[in-house]
Amino acid sequence: MVHSEMVAEFTDSVPCGAPEGIDVGETAGALRLPPDGGRAIMSAIRVLVLEDSLIIAMEAEDILRLAGVENIDIVGSVEQARAAITAETYDFALLDVNLGEGMSFGFARHLLDLGIPFGFVSGYSDTGDFPPDLQHIPLLVKPFDETAMRQFLLRLFPAVA
């Protein structure tokens, strides 16, 4: 379990593109990150992405890099993912649910046993059809964008988003 402090908070600054002189920060729910935009925190993070679609994996990588993550390993199978966590230490993982070879639920349970935080990435709109012991895991629904990824990261790992 990750114990951390929330980094984001409301601010009264004007978001990019908002008319000057109008205070929209709190009503728009704008997040205030550390002075570096949270990049120093994220740059120290190592992420494992288990995704069998290279295009989706590359999209996730691009968005994570925009958030400041510098250490991202992409694997396309559970076998590769198991080898990766044996060779490296990860701060969290993003797991595609439905891989061409099967589901990632067994690997997800392995991550739980190891204490590695993770979230699912899937075209499924909710976790209702997932095994009961994994229904509480955060879900990022495909297709996703940078905003959805940041919200997902806040649920998964509050100190880094």
Supply the pLDDT for residue 76: 96
User: Does the residue 100 lie in any domain?
Assistant: yes
User: Does the residue 10 lie in any domain?
Assistant: no
Please compute the mean of the pLDDT values over residues 88-111 and round it to a whole number: 96
Q: Rg for the chain (alpha carbons), in Å?
A: 17
Q: Does pLDDT of 147 surpass 60?
A: yes
Judged by DSSP in three states, 17 sits in coil
State how far the Cα of 96 lies from the Cα of 52, in Å rounded to an integer: 7
Supply the pLDDT for residue 143: 92
Out of 3-12, 67-76, 89-98, 116-125, pick the least confident: 3-12
User: What's the CATH code of the domain at 108?
Assistant: 3.40.50.2300
Share of the chain above pLDDT 70, in %: 70
DSSP state at residue 133: G
| 36 contact partners, CB below 8 Å, separation of at least 6 | none
Q: What is the pLDDT of residues 14-46, one digit of tens each?
A: 334 434 444 434 333 333 344 445 444 465 689
User: Does the residue 27 lie in any domain?
Assistant: no
User: Does the residue 75 lie in any domain?
Assistant: yes
User: Does the residue 25 lie in any domain?
Assistant: no
Q: Residue 42: which of 145, 140, 138, 156 has the closest Cα?
A: 156
State how far the Cα of 107 lies from the Cα of 146, in Å rounded to an integer: 26
- Average pLDDT taken over every residue of the chain: 78
Please compute the mean of the pLDDT values over residues 60-69 and round it to a whole number: 91
Number of domains in the chain: 1
Supply the pLDDT for residue 124: 87
Q: Does pLDDT of 88 surpass 60?
A: yes
User: Does the residue 161 lie in any domain?
Assistant: no
**What ranges make up the beta strands (E) of the chain?**
9-10, 31-32, 46-50, 71-75, 92-96, 98-99, 102-103, 118-122, 139-141
| 58 contact partners, CB below 8 Å, separation of at least 6 | 74
Domain enclosing residue 59, as ranges? 36-156
User: Does the residue 114 lie in any domain?
Assistant: yes
Q: What is the DSSP string of 23-37?
A: --HHHHT-EE--TTT
